[in-house]
Structure formats: structure tokens, C-alpha cells
Structure 1
Amino acid sequence: MLHHKILKVLLAFVVVVVYVSSEPMLVIKAEQTAIINTSVLNVREGPGLSYALVSQVKQDEKYTILEKKNDWVKLELSSGKTGWVASWLIKEESTNSTPPATQTGSSSTIVSTVDGLRLRNGPGTGFQVIGSLNNGNEAEFLENRENWSKVSYKGQIGWVASEYIKTKSATNDPNPKPTTNKTGKITASVLNVRGEPNLQGRIVGKLLEGASVKIVAERENWIEISFGSSTAWIHRDFVTTSSSSETPETPEPTPLPQKPVNEGKTGIVTASSLNVRDSGSLSGKVIGSLKQGDQVTIEEEVNNWSKITLSNGSKGWIASWYLEVKADNSTPPPTTEESSVKILYNGTNIRTGPATTHPVAARANEGDTFTIIKTEGDWYKITLPDNKIGYVAGWIVSVDGVGVIVERPGVNQYLKGKTIVVDPGHGGNDSGAVGATGTFEKEITLRTARIVFDKLSATGANVILTRNSDSYISLRSRVSISHYRNADAFISIHYDSTADRSARGITSYYYKNIDIPLASSIQAEMIRNTGFKNRQHRLGNFQVIRENRNPSALLELGFLSNPTEEYTVNTNSFQENVSNGIFYGLAQYFKGR
């Protein structure tokens, strides 16, 4: 009996120890920081939209995360106060974590395996050609999307077909070996000297025609020169080089003006339609538009972008190369970094004026190049042989140099400026359906969403992914993102599954009447582009479309439970085709609005 009592006491003690030890230990973790990922974000008293506002925070500001609850995080504000913000509108970083090892001496480089490889402004053959690579030309590899690779070439970011490139590991020596006994003489009247070897590089000075320079190194179309007490870069096209035993004097930097030369002047818009952005780059958000002939006052000019004031009083940025600045005798001589066009098609018409109604002055073949004089609307005024003048449509040529790239509107005009939320289904601990051979729905939905994101972004649409990694986002949060962004369209991407392994095809679901045109347009284009069985667009009671105030559609892009269809949807060609279907379906939807 005594033994039984002792045993009970020991057992109780073990239970207490196990219970205590199961409590979480106090572990010092790396401090989590929230980076605000929207222009202005409301801070609330509690974790929900029903709580009162206590403050607002702005994009890129950083705050320490104190607590997390559902889809909300508690922040420590700079005023010493605390408040809650929606987790889907921030980015998190660990401030005390060990930084990743820095990669030294290597970067990913691609090499074109063909002549005339077209560089496009989006991942697809329907996107504008903005340049080309010949066999052996190298470019910096940025990322891959199915059959397309995003690269940086001659200062331009664009996409090339992956089948026509090969990769190599390129060693980037930060201190290239000097070229011995080599000098150069400037041939342009005024030449920009840049801090980096690309057309987006910061201008650090200027050189005048005839100036001699000492060449330090050469890299593709750029030459590194001694400049002041350091080095800088100039474009190869505007310098003649020679070997010499004499060392020229190192040119001192020409002081740059403290104010841009065009500040305070009036500019006239030369493009048929010109986006106004919230920052001075092509990645800036579109906040307005101007039309050809509009006049603007230039407040500031930075790196070929002009800051202007819109009619509603807000500030914005436009590309300076779409502006014709009114003449002023005090203006210094223009920089003569010439640009040229390369003809993309045999038999291209060169006309006497900037429209198809003008007579044909000449015909050109693929590969012919001409110097650009100026841009008039969607046409380039060019120099022909014997110093004659001609005009060529901007959308059938590629541009080499600093000239503006003209785009033919096409379907892009219907998507530009639209706010589209793309929702990759499932994520994190919610894997979604699992295919017959093991495909996780959460992985393939993100794969599809990313290429749709790239295609839409290339048109100037404002695209938001509800998730861009393997993370769990609640259904309520996905709807909240649509409402917060005031989406013009919300697209939720899924893949289907059922016990019937022979089931196949694509289905689009709607819930509200305003959803029907969106679902039907996308369904029609997906079937046209993929050839899959058409399961039609139909009513579906799904939370992300049922609770969504904005036009919404939920797409089921094939059956993972069907082994044949599972294999097909995992191919690059299907991903390209179905993303094209979603892209063109959205364009058709907005065209009809």
C-alpha cells in the first residue's frame, strides 16, 4: 500500500514537471521591425478596422513590432505610443539577425546565342520591343519567369526569350585593370560623364569636344576614364581612342549647376499620352496623365525626369524626353549623346511625315539603323542617306541610346493605371490541393500569379500580390487588401481537385452581378490561349469574392487530381499560355467598361 502511495506521489511530481516544462521558455529573439509598405497607413487602438485611429505612418518608415494578433501587428511609434496596423500592409525584417553572406566577385550574366534577340518591356511576344542583342552580347540576369528572362542591357531593363540565351558566371572586378598607353578624345560637343557605366548612372560632370582623356578600363559600350581625383564613365560612341606613350592631363570635372538648367521653364508634352508618376522613374506609381500639347512648368529635373505641379495641386514626375523645353538663350548647348533606331522588319515604310497618311519616302530592311533627330508623337524623325529626312513609326523599331521609346497602345492602353489585386490561393500551413503526383496547389498558384504580375506591371497597371512567398494570409485579409487598395479587379488564382481523376478543364467563378463580365472575359481568353476544356463561368459561394465589394473572380486553372492535367499545368508553356489568358481577359474586361 505504501509503495502505491509513493508511486502516486512520484507520478504527480512527474506530471507537474512535465506540465511546467511544457510552458514556453523565455527566449531572446531577434528584434522584428515593420517597414510600412503603402503610402499612408492608419494606426489603430486595437487589432481590427473597428478600432479608433490613433495615428498615421508613411511608406518606408520603420517601427519595432511589439506583438502580433491574427492579421494585425502592434507597433512602438516614435512618439512613445503604441498602435496596431494591418500586417498585410507592412514588410517585416529581423534587425538583430545575422546578415546574409555578401557575395563577392561574381554575378549572373547571360549571353545571347542568336543575332537580333529582341529585348521587350514585358514577358511576352505582345510587349513592345525596346532593344535587341546580337550573338555573343552579354547582359546582367535579374530573374526568370517561365519562358522569359528579365535582364539589364545597356542601361535598359527588359525581357528576352530564355531559349535564346545561355548563362555564365561572370567575375566583376571592382577595380578593372588599366588599359596601358591608351587615350581618348571627345567627339561630342558636350558629353555627360557618369558615375556608373549605364545611361541611368549619376551625371558627375561634363566634357567638351576635343578634350583628351586617359582610359583606365573598358566595359562593353562604356569607357572608364581618370576624372579629377577619381574615375568615371563615358559612352564609347563619343570618344576616339588611340595608343600613345604620352599621358594626357586628367580632366578636372566641369562643375555641375546647383539647379537643373530647365528649372522654372515651360515644357510642351510631345507624346500622345504621358503618364505622371509619384517618383522620377518608370517604377513610380502612375498618379495622372497628360496629352500631347499640354504645357507644364518644370520645378526640378533629376536624371532625365522633370517634377511638375498638376492642376489639382499635387506634385508629380514625368519623363523629360517627352518634353520640348521652350527655347532660352541662357540654355547651355545640349548634350549630344545621339540615339538611333534599328528597323525590326523587312520592307518597313519610311514616310515624309509623322503619320501613315503621308507618302512613303523610302523602304528599309531589318537591321538598318538611322539617327534620331527628334520624336514627334508616336513617330521618330530620322536622318536618311544623302541628308534627307524621314519618319518611322516608333512601335516597329528598337532604340539604341538615350532616346525615348515609343509604344503602340494595343491592349496596354486598357490596363494602364488600373489597380489589380492578384491573389495566389492558399500558402504557408495551408497547402491547398495536393496533386496526383504531389504538386502543392499553394506553390503553383504563386508561380502563376508572379508571371501575371509581371505581364500586368509592364503595361503600367498598379498590381498588388496578396502574397509573394509561402506565407499564410487569411481569407478576410485578402478581401481587406482589395478594399484598402480600392481594386478595379480582384483575381484569386487556384487549381482544382476532385475524387474523380478524369475531371478536367478550367472554371471561373463569380458571386455578384458586377463579377460576371470579369469572370466571363477571363474565362474566354484562358480557354482560347490554353485549349483546355471549357467548364464555363459560374456562380460560386467563395468568401474572397462573396465578401468583396469590388469586381472579383476566382479562377480554377485545371485539375491537379487528373495526372495528365497535373503534368500539363506544371509545364512552362502552360504557365505562359494561361497567364496570357488572364492578362488578355483583363484587357478585354477593361476595354468594355
Structure 2
Amino acid sequence: MKTPTTVIDAGHGGHDSGALGPGGSKEKDIALNVSKRVHAILIEAGVRSILTRDSDVFLGLTERAEIANRAVADLFVSIHCNAGGGTGFEVYTSRGETTSDRAATLVFEEFGSANPGSIRRVDLTDGDVDKEAGYAVLVRTSGPAILFELEFIDTDAGESLLNDAAFQERSATAIAAGVLRFLGVELPVSPLPVIPRRNDMLRWTPAEKAIHAALDAVEEVGADPLLTEAVTLLSNAQNKVADYVDADLLSQ
């Protein structure tokens, strides 16, 4: 089976900073951060992924499209931050009904699920969510291509969100998930965290020592019922974790 190929394009770069935030954030930097993370997730899933740029360099629009064409990419994804004083995320394809529409819809759905508080900016006139435009990177690529706008960088709230590491990670994971759905590839599952054995738990943290000190105080002199219940719940939670480890459901 042929390994699918994607080209992930971080918008702007080099002397072209893209849109600017009120605090000085640059679109090119945020786009690169998210693009590199999308790229890493796709590689982990077994996809052949190519970045148009992996550093702060300038590339022309035709050059970006040609990278995808030379690679015979199954999907080209250009990642940007929006501007114009609005709010929310949106996705673009070239004009007309193409296979790019399905890719756009899948990425849009995954992004919306990962960021339920974000505004969905759509154009439903042709029955799907993508907006259509004659952007060079979309019309000069020979295969499916989408351009994704994460959020508006030129508002205080948008700039703050775009600089949030958790938002960048959610966004990258969601975009990668949509790409993988389009390609018919499963999203890689992160391994479960390693839980320490009960013996390791005997080396209590200061917080754990505080819980047991509070329990001793409750038993000795009594305390407010709500406080007693809270301390008991914390203690029970700790014991349940220890019992879970004792049952050898997870091993080291």
C-alpha cells in the first residue's frame, strides 16, 4: 500500500511576518509552531509529511505549491492566523466542487470539536463549511489543498489564545486528526502515564503529608463537617490509586 503524503505549509516567514497582534505577535511564528506539531503527529501516524519551511525563511507562493506538486501530495495544508478584527476559525478551498472540500470539512469538524468555545466561520451556500477563494497556494497545487485560519491575531483575545501553548497543541492535534481521517489513517494514541507502585507512594509529597496531618487533627479534636468530608475524599482518592496499582492493572 502506498504511504500517503502530506505537505504542511506554515504561512509567511522571513521578511514576511504576516498579520501582527496588538502585543507584537507575528503570524509567521504561530503558524510555524502549529505546523511543526502537525507534521510531527502525521509522521508518528506513519504518513510521509513534508514541511514547506521548518524555520523562519521566506518562500514564494508558487514555490510552496510546487513543493506539493513535486511530492505528488495527497493533501496540502496551509496554516495561518486570520486578521481583520473578527473572531473564530475558518477553512478555504479553491473555487468549485473538489476533493479538497471533504478534507476541509473533516479538518474543520475536528478543530471545532477540540475548540468548542471558538466561533465557526462557514459558508454553507454550496452545502459544506469551507469558504472558496483564488489563493495562489490553492489554485497552483495539482492535488487537494486547503488553507486553515486558526484565529484572529489582531485582537487582544485572539492574540492571547494563539500564544497559548495548550491551544496550539489542541489545534495541531485537531488539524492532524482531520488530515488523517481524510487519508484513512488512524490517529496515534499516546501511551498511558506510568503510575508509581505503592512502595513509591510511601515517599509522600508535602501535600500528601498535609492530608494525613489533617485527618489526624479531625480524629483528635473534630472539625467542620464540610472540611472533614473534603479531607476524607482526598484521602480516599489517594487510597484508590494505591489499590489500583496494587492490583497490577498497570506494571512497570
Q: Where on the TM-score scale, by shorter chain, does this alignment land: which range? A: 0.5 to 0.7
After superposition, give the CA deviation of every residue in 1:271-323 in whole Å (9 maximum; x if it has no partner).
Answer: xxxxxxxxxxxxxxxxx68xxxxxxxxxxxxxxxxxxxxxxxxxxxxxxxxxx
After TM superposition, the structure 1 = structure 2 runs for residues 192-341 of structure 1, keeping only pairs within 5 Å, are none
Whichever residue aligns with residue 89 of structure 2, its letter is I
SS class of match (2:112)? helix
1:438 is matched with which residue?
Answer: 24
2:113 is matched with which residue?
Answer: 528
Whichever residue aligns with residue 18 of structure 2, its letter is G
After TM superposition, the structure 1 = structure 2 runs for residues 547-566 of structure 1, keeping only pairs within 5 Å, are 547-566=140-159
User: Of 449, 454, 458, which residue of structure 1 is paired with 2:40?
Assistant: 454
Structure 2 residue 139 is matched with structure 1 residue 546: yes
After superposition, give the CA deviation of every residue in 1:79-125 in whole Å (9 maximum; x if it has no partner).
Answer: xxxxxxxxxxxxxxxxxxxxxxxxxxxxxxxxxxxxxxxxxxxxxxx
1:464 is matched with which residue?
Answer: 50
2:232 is matched with which residue?
Answer: none
TM-score when scaled to structure 1? 0.29
Q: Whose strand fraction is larger, Structure 1's or Structure 2's?
A: 1
* Whole-angstrom CA distance in 2 between matches of 1:484 and 1:419: 11
* Aligned-pair CA distance for 1:590: 2.1
User: Of 56, 59, 76, which residue of structure 2 is paired with 1:490?
Assistant: 76
2:183 is matched with which residue?
Answer: 590
Whichever residue aligns with residue 581 of structure 1, its letter is A
Runs of 4+ displaced beyond 6 Å = none
Q: Whose helix fraction is larger, Structure 1's or Structure 2's?
A: 2
Q: Which consecutive unaligned segments of at least 5 residues does structure 2 have?
A: 123-129, 186-252
Does the Cα contact within 8 Å between 2:42 and 2:180 map onto a contact in 1?
no
After superposition, give the CA deviation of every residue in 1:388-447 in whole Å (9 maximum; x if it has no partner).
Answer: xxxxxxxxxxxxxxxxxxxxxxxxxxxxx2100000000011110011211101111100
Structure 2 residue 92 is matched with structure 1 residue 509: yes
Structure 2 residue 12 is matched with structure 1 residue 426: yes
Identity among equivalent pairs (%): 30
How many residue pairs end up in the alignment? 175
2:172 is matched with which residue?
Answer: 579
* Aligned-pair CA distance for 1:522: 0.4
* Whole-angstrom CA distance in 1 between matches of 2:91 and 2:39: 19
* Whole-angstrom CA distance in 2 between matches of 1:569 and 1:432: 14
* Whole-angstrom CA distance in 2 between matches of 1:540 and 1:521: 19
* Whole-angstrom CA distance in 2 between matches of 1:433 and 1:461: 31
* Whole-angstrom CA distance in 2 between matches of 1:540 and 1:496: 15
* Whole-angstrom CA distance in 2 between matches of 1:589 and 1:451: 18
* Whole-angstrom CA distance in 2 between matches of 1:526 and 1:458: 19
* Whole-angstrom CA distance in 2 between matches of 1:521 and 1:436: 32
SS class of match (1:556)? strand
* Aligned-pair CA distance for 1:580: 1.2
After superposition, give the CA deviation of every residue in 1:432-487 in whole Å (9 maximum; x if it has no partner).
Answer: 00112111011111000111111111011101000011101110100100100000
1:84 is matched with which residue?
Answer: none
SS class of match (1:439)? coil
Q: Which consecutive unaligned segments of at least 5 residues does structure 1 have?
A: 1-287, 290-416
Structure 2 residue 155 is matched with structure 1 residue 569: no
1:332 is matched with which residue?
Answer: none
Whichever residue aligns with residue 182 of structure 2, its letter is Y
SS class of match (2:102)? helix
After TM superposition, the structure 1 = structure 2 runs for residues 409-424 of structure 1, keeping only pairs within 5 Å, are 417-424=3-10
* Whole-angstrom CA distance in 2 between matches of 1:590 and 1:488: 8
After superposition, give the CA deviation of every residue in 1:567-586 in whole Å (9 maximum; x if it has no partner).
Answer: 01111110111011101111
1:148 is matched with which residue?
Answer: none
Does the Cα contact within 8 Å between 2:41 and 2:176 map onto a contact in 1?
yes
* Aligned-pair CA distance for 1:589: 1.5
User: Of 62, 65, 73, which residue of structure 2 is paired with 1:476?
Assistant: 62
Structure with higher Rg: it is: 1
SS class of match (1:535)? coil
* Whole-angstrom CA distance in 2 between matches of 1:580 and 1:452: 6
Whichever residue aligns with residue 33 of structure 2, its letter is R
SS class of match (2:121)? strand
* Aligned-pair CA distance for 1:514: 2.2
RMSD value, Cα? 1.4
SS class of match (1:534)? coil
